[in-house]
Structure 1
Amino acid sequence: MPPEPDATPQIDTHQRVYEILTGEDQGRVCRDIPDAACREQPRNFLTHVASLAATKTADGLADPKLVLAWLLGAVGAPAFMTGLLVPIREAGALLPQLVIAASIRALPIRKRVWAIGSVVQGIAAIGVGLAALLLEGAAAGWTMLALLAALALARSACSIAHKDVLGKTVSKSTRGTVTGTAGTASAILLLGFGVLLGTGLLERSVGVIAGALFVAGLLWIGGALLFASLAEAPGATEGGGNPLAVAVAQFGLLRDDPQLARFVTIRCLLLATTLAPPFLVAMEARNIGAQAVGLGAFVIASALAAIASSYVWGRLSDVSSRRVIVSAGLIGTVALLASAAVGAGLGRPIGLDVASPLALPALVFALAIAEQGVRLGRTTHVVDMAGQSRRAAYTALSNTITGVLTLGAGVFGLLAQAVGEIAVLLVFAAMAALAVWLAKGLEEVQQA
């Protein structure tokens, strides 16, 4: 009789890929996760990477700063709606977290929250594509904004659940690598999409962009199915209870843990790297005209930055997330100062000014590298800093405070209108520099 097949080849494949990505061998030490999760570490690691790569790609295909903004204009929606896209997406994804964290904490298995939230995001993205195809004008705009709000709320639940599940299923020494690897994979796919649009191989039409949103929806749903297959052991449920009461109590964590208060302050200051790119686009538009703005070059620069830095930042975060935050903040500070200098014409003697075809895309590239480092460094830092008992609470609290400040980020637009983009970029540079100084006082949580 022929020998019965077994699962050894698949397990070996998981193990080999895991070892290549993490640099660990079969004698690895699992940190801050249960023994059962340690046995499933290679499979769980790769499942996280695959599901995150799918959903990060979906995020890029439905990017409100570019894709949805263009789509609103293409369907004839009122111009003011474009200004609502980013606040709805960002604040909607961050603000509810403090209220819903306790409810998620009460669930012993949390991967289902992420899976359901990802499915909802997928359905919402498909709905946005259908609205673009079937509706016009204000009706299309309001429908798309409502669906974006639903997507953002689902994303809010996913954010809390993911960090908690990541902390339960992946060792402390490899969590940054998960996010970095997924970010690199998704950036490669998004770069291909940008090149196809930029070269005209894909027509920039409502039908094509709606099709991209359909693909995004399927990626979110596929990522949910993958994530649901994780081997997750039941977790502690202490901290569940009345969501609003727990939310108010969680603000006390800022008083009880000075490191958390410092981390939240740093995270808010480093919003500068996220908020700055639109002002570079506005600066170019003011100088050469809106129709001449090379948005394709900006998209490609951002994707290339993610490809070049995501995996590296992730690996470095597993060694020292504090150093990653400091380094990324320094890069952001320099890039912001250079952007202000170019905008002021100080780069003209060496051939760099706003009208130069490569100057601003190169600065967007540097800012995107900084943003990737900030994102990966802070994600790894908060997960490793909190430990198992406070991970969901720390994540929700920092995200909610950041969301409140994001709502107020419109003041920078008013400042740019009053005194110009250069002044805003200098303010952002000062914010990033202050964040670097504060980040030097963070603890080395990977060594704890």
Structure 2
Amino acid sequence: MSDTAVGRAYALLTNDDEGRVCRDIPESACNEQPRNFMKHVVSLSATKLGDGLFDPKLVLTWLMNAIGAPVYLTGALVPLREAGALLPQLFTAAWIRSMPQRKWAWAAGSAVQGLCAAGVALTAATMEGETAGWIIVALVALFAIGRSVCSVSHKDVLGKTVSKSTRGTATGTAGSAAAIGVLAFGVLIGLGLLPLEVWTIAIALGVACGLWLFAAAVFTTLLEEPGSTGGGGNAFGVAVQQFGLLGADPQLRLFIAVRGLLVPTALAPPYLLTLSGQAASRSLGDLGFFVVASSLAAIFGGYVWGRLSDRSSRKTLIAAGALGALTLLAAAGVEAADLSGNAILLPGLLFVLVLGYQGVRLARSTHLTDMADKDSRAAYTALSNTIIGVLLLATSGLGFVASALGTLVVLLIFAAMCALASVLAFGLKEVQADDGDD
């Protein structure tokens, strides 16, 4: 893409005709901002599309069932994918902080994810049963480690290469662009235009591999100024020191509490699928409405929430939390009124819930990036993600609550958590304010 095309695309997405409105980044990075911004958008779009094709809640679950893997292995996919990507971060952060340029860490993590996707595709195409299931679970665990490296390094690189006023826009635009591809995949599968066979999913995972490798290559071309390498010592010692940040920064404690209370926006979708009477063991085609609803929410929500987060990530967290609470209350009402058989109602609620999740995801990322300075971003990110990873493992016990007391109780608990998070978020600072610049 030519410099002129890059400049036009940047101006269109950010409403910055000059392409030089820079806040808290070096002058050399400011001059490169349009190109860096678009490289972030392209690389993130590719990885997010890969995420959609590698989705453990739908695609990998169907695949495990299709190859005859045991149910207990299938049930391990989502916890490994979510918590496994967060828990290692106190230790991966130490290595990343020893690197003057952290774009290389992100590229390595992206490549690992791509190779794991290829491994899952090869396993599914050539093997069956418990052995294949164990290999796929192991690959998902390795995938999660690669993702943890990307999670820690990306916020740090983003904070060094893209201005404060456009970071949420970059990630939000990428999310919307990738969602279009996921939507097309869901429509083709749901309508039967693509045969629902193991080889079809294997090819989709091969495409995901190519997307992650492409993203890694693009990311290495970012102009990233060398940064501080402090904090790159012993992993366990660094982890202990980072936990001390909780006592030193009350805003960090409050942010982590708000983020933790908002995890139901990510955890609740399977419960809506349960209400619909569509078990995870049924075909992916039966879940077509849900795939489409989720993708549409990402398309509509990504860019809009990203722009709102750039203005006030605090207010975005408040709004997204309230939206999640209301949606989960509505879902509980559907269960109480025995209306779950409606073919459109629950997918519609899933659309709103995922819309709220998009707001939570983008606002928490933007808020954490903007509340920290360039020397503490990696530490804050790793600490926050590790605590949330532990919480995600703890909330896996809610499946037993649902079995004993019913899905209605779980939905009410989730709604209360989101409502409390929305209230607590009023205590967060407006980190996008001019006097809050690094």
TM-score (norm 1): 0.95
Q: Which residue pairs with 1:43 in the alignment?
A: 35
Q: State the Cα distance separating 1:92 from its structure 2 match.
A: 1.2
Mapped contact 1:325–1:436 kept (Cα < 8 A): yes
Residue 203 (structure 1) aligned to one of 179, 195, 210: 195
Q: State the Cα distance separating 1:177 from its structure 2 match.
A: 0.3
Mapped contact 1:91–1:407 kept (Cα < 8 A): yes
Q: 1:164 to 1:431 in 2, by over 3 A?
A: same
Q: State the Cα distance separating 1:224 from its structure 2 match.
A: 0.4
Q: Which residue pairs with 1:72 in the alignment?
A: 64
Report whether the alignment pairs 1:268 with 2:268. no
Instruction: For residue 139 of structure 2, give the secondary structure of its aligned residue in structure 1.
Output: helix
Q: 1:69 to 1:121 in 2, by over 3 A?
A: same
Residue by residue over 1:341-385, the C-alpha shift from the partner in whole angstroms, topping out at 9 and shown as x without a partner, is: 01100xx7xxxx101111100000000000000000000000000
Residue 414 (structure 1) aligned to one of 394, 400, 411: 400
Q: Which residue pairs with 2:358 in the alignment?
A: 372
Q: Which residue pairs with 1:212 in the alignment?
A: 204
Q: Which residue pairs with 1:395 in the alignment?
A: 381
Distance in 2, Cα, partners of 1:59 & 1:29: 32
Distance in 1, Cα, partners of 2:157 & 2:6: 20
Q: State the Cα distance separating 1:106 from its structure 2 match.
A: 1.2
Q: Which residue pairs with 2:296 in the alignment?
A: 304
Q: State the Cα distance separating 1:29 from its structure 2 match.
A: 2.5
Instruction: For residue 408 of structure 1, give the secondary structure of its aligned residue in structure 2.
Output: helix
Residue by residue over 1:220-252, the C-alpha shift from the partner in whole angstroms, topping out at 9 and shown as x without a partner, is: 000000011101110111222111101111111
Instruction: For residue 49 of structure 2, give the secondary structure of its aligned residue in structure 1.
Output: helix
Mapped contact 1:97–1:396 kept (Cα < 8 A): yes
Distance in 2, Cα, partners of 1:65 & 1:158: 21
Report whether the alignment pairs 1:328 with 2:314. no
RMSD after superposition: 1.5
Q: Which residue pairs with 2:175 in the alignment?
A: 183
Q: 1:290 to 1:133 in 2, by over 3 A?
A: closer
Mapped contact 1:64–1:86 kept (Cα < 8 A): yes
Q: Which amino acid aligns with 1:375?
A: R
Q: State the Cα distance separating 1:290 from its structure 2 match.
A: 6.1
Q: Which amino acid aligns with 2:345?
A: A
Q: Which amino acid aligns with 1:327?
A: A
Residue by residue over 1:101-147, the C-alpha shift from the partner in whole angstroms, topping out at 9 and shown as x without a partner, is: 12211110110011111111111100000000111100110011111
TM-score (norm 2): 0.97
Mapped contact 1:334–1:429 kept (Cα < 8 A): yes
Distance in 2, Cα, partners of 1:58 & 1:255: 38
Query: Which consecutive segments of 4 or more residues in structure 1 shift more than 3 A?
Result: 289-294
Structure 1, unpaired ranges of 5+: 1-8
Residue 381 (structure 1) aligned to one of 345, 361, 367: 367
Mapped contact 1:285–1:292 kept (Cα < 8 A): no
Structure 2, unpaired ranges of 5+: none
Q: 1:226 to 1:267 in 2, by over 3 A?
A: same
Q: 1:303 to 1:165 in 2, by over 3 A?
A: same
Distance in 2, Cα, partners of 1:283 & 1:27: 48
Q: State the Cα distance separating 1:432 from its structure 2 match.
A: 0.2
Q: Which amino acid aligns with 1:359?
A: L
Distance in 1, Cα, partners of 2:69 & 2:108: 30
Report whether the alignment pairs 1:437 with 2:423. yes
Distance in 1, Cα, partners of 2:347 & 2:39: 34
Instruction: For residue 315 of structure 1, give the secondary structure of its aligned residue in structure 2.
Output: helix
Distance in 2, Cα, partners of 1:97 & 1:197: 35
Q: Which amino acid aligns with 2:112?
A: V
Report whether the alignment pairs 1:250 with 2:242. yes
* Segment drifting more, 404-413 vs 217-226: 404-413
Q: State the Cα distance separating 1:60 from its structure 2 match.
A: 0.5
Q: What is the count of residue pairs matched by the alignment?
A: 433
Distance in 2, Cα, partners of 1:227 & 1:246: 27
Mapped contact 1:190–1:303 kept (Cα < 8 A): yes
Instruction: For residue 21 of structure 2, give the secondary structure of its aligned residue in structure 1.
Output: coil
Q: 1:56 to 1:364 in 2, by over 3 A?
A: same
Which structure has the larger Rg?
1
Distance in 2, Cα, partners of 1:276 & 1:146: 25
Q: Which residue pairs with 2:92 in the alignment?
A: 100
Q: Which residue pairs with 2:82 in the alignment?
A: 90
Mapped contact 1:197–1:204 kept (Cα < 8 A): yes
Q: Which amino acid aligns with 1:182?
A: A
Q: Which amino acid aligns with 1:109?
A: Q
Report whether the alignment pairs 1:404 with 2:396. no
Report whether the alignment pairs 1:316 with 2:311. no
Distance in 2, Cα, partners of 1:80 & 1:418: 19
Distance in 2, Cα, partners of 1:255 & 1:413: 33
Report whether the alignment pairs 1:109 with 2:101. yes
Distance in 2, Cα, partners of 1:81 & 1:435: 33
Report whether the alignment pairs 1:29 with 2:15. no
Residue 227 (structure 1) aligned to one of 190, 198, 219: 219
Q: State the Cα distance separating 1:293 from its structure 2 match.
A: 9.3
Q: Which amino acid aligns with 1:406?
A: L
Residue by residue over 1:327-351, the C-alpha shift from the partner in whole angstroms, topping out at 9 and shown as x without a partner, is: 1111101000000001100xx7xxx
